[in-house]
Amino acid sequence: MTPGLESNSFTVADTSGKTLTITGMSQNVTPFDTYYIFNKSKLDAMRYDAQYSVLLGGEYGDVTTEGYLGGEILFNHDSKSLAVTTLLNNPWKEQDMFGFTPAGKYTPVKGADDTESLQTTVGNDGTKSYIAFYDSYRKEYIARAWLDIDPNATSYLPCTGSGNDISNCEISPRTTVFMKGFDGNASMAENGGLALFSANRIPLLRIDANGKIEKYPGIDLELDDTVTSNLLGIRIVSNGAQVGYLGIKFSSDSIETVSSSGLETALSAHKNRMVLEAISNRYVSHKTHLGISSMGSEGVMFAFKDTSAGEIGDPDPAYMAKSGPAGLEDYPKKTGIGWEDTNRMLLEAAAGTTIGNATKFYQTFSTITL
């Protein structure tokens, strides 16, 4: 049997001797994804007879992780395994989805498949506002961005200029919240915050001194990912038409990222900045920097990172040679690794050569043989 499905076939026969040959997958057949999770609990319930294994799709040779699969296969008392070749570290780039600058500017990653399933909702907990990020494809919440506004260090400025251009809205050196009404709608200061009213004085939106955003029936809030200024832009929409704009620019030079258990402490300790609450452990965050200096203002980018789900990004160039044979890092972008083309380590091991000789020509930065 070869690893390429298009080369495989099998024949079945009935009692009369008639046969039917089933060929492999062709371009006229719709492919589907399936996977079987093999882990320590399944290993403990069986006798593993393979003397040599190549594990693809994850860092199964990470010796710093308790219960790493490569070690479990090799050292299990019922296993006949003599060697395992796999990856020492995760060599795949994280699939960036969205991020914020410390001033609050929202940036979804254009072209990322995950961005198409990203849903955002502006809400509040009764005292503070947040932006919730939901992955509709994987059916889980990713994070919440809390607007931890300090009323004693924030300027609330109604923008009264004509037209729909926000470039004429004033921004002070402090953290600034501004609001502008479009097409006859007007914003004004109210109780230490701001309010937006329609032309006939119907309230549309309010934000109080603590940053709590309250929208009225018929109003939707949409994050603006086209704004050129370094600020958080929120479009105020009614019946599909934009009726106003809410802008928030934090004066901080960093963003805090915490777990849900540490949120209350972080909100108390880090006033007047955005605090990101990481909800799902299948997503990770990493720092970003404005400009080219790592000493500059630090933003945050969220990315999906869960190799156990079989969703793997492109290999990180930092771990890859510019040319050479296919490595284990090329899975699942390339089929037949270990058996054909530029990587035949399994085929060579099956032919009787030593494991060292079978793998030496296919070694990469992340490959390890246990």
> What letter represents residue 136's amino acid?
S
Strands (E), 208-291: 213-215, 219-223, 232-238, 241-249, 256-259, 273-278, 283-289
- Tell me the C-alpha distance between 302 and 305, whole Å: 10
Do 49 and 349 touch, CB atoms closer than 8 A? no
Is 307 exposed, middle or buried, given 0-12, 13-18 or 19+ CB atoms closer than 10 A? middle
pLDDT value of position 307: 54
Dihedral sign of CA atoms 218, 219, 221, 226 in order: positive
CA distance 184 to 199: 5
Write down the pLDDT at residue 141: 93
Judged by phi (left if over 0) then psi (alpha if -120 to 50, else beta), residue 93 lies in beta
Measured at the CA of 36, the angle between CA 34 and CA 41, to 5 degrees, comes to 160
54-73 as b/e: b if 16+ CB within 10 A: bbbbbbbbbeeeeebbbbbb
Q: CB under 8 Å to 48, separation ≥6 — which residues?
A: 73, 76, 78, 79, 80, 81
Residues in CB range of 3: below 8 A, 6 or more apart = 335, 336, 339, 340
CA atoms within 13 A on the CB side of 308: 9
pLDDT tens-place values along the chain, 370 residues long: 344 555 666 677 777 777 777 665 554 444 444 445 566 677 777 777 778 888 877 788 888 877 788 888 888 777 777 888 888 877 766 678 899 999 999 998 876 555 568 899 999 999 999 999 998 888 899 999 999 999 999 999 998 877 788 888 899 999 999 999 988 787 888 888 999 998 888 899 999 999 999 999 999 999 999 998 999 999 999 988 999 999 999 998 889 899 999 999 999 998 999 999 999 888 888 888 765 445 567 888 888 776 555 555 666 665 666 566 777 777 767 777 778 777 788 888 888 888 888 887 878 777 888 8
Residues shown for the chain: 370
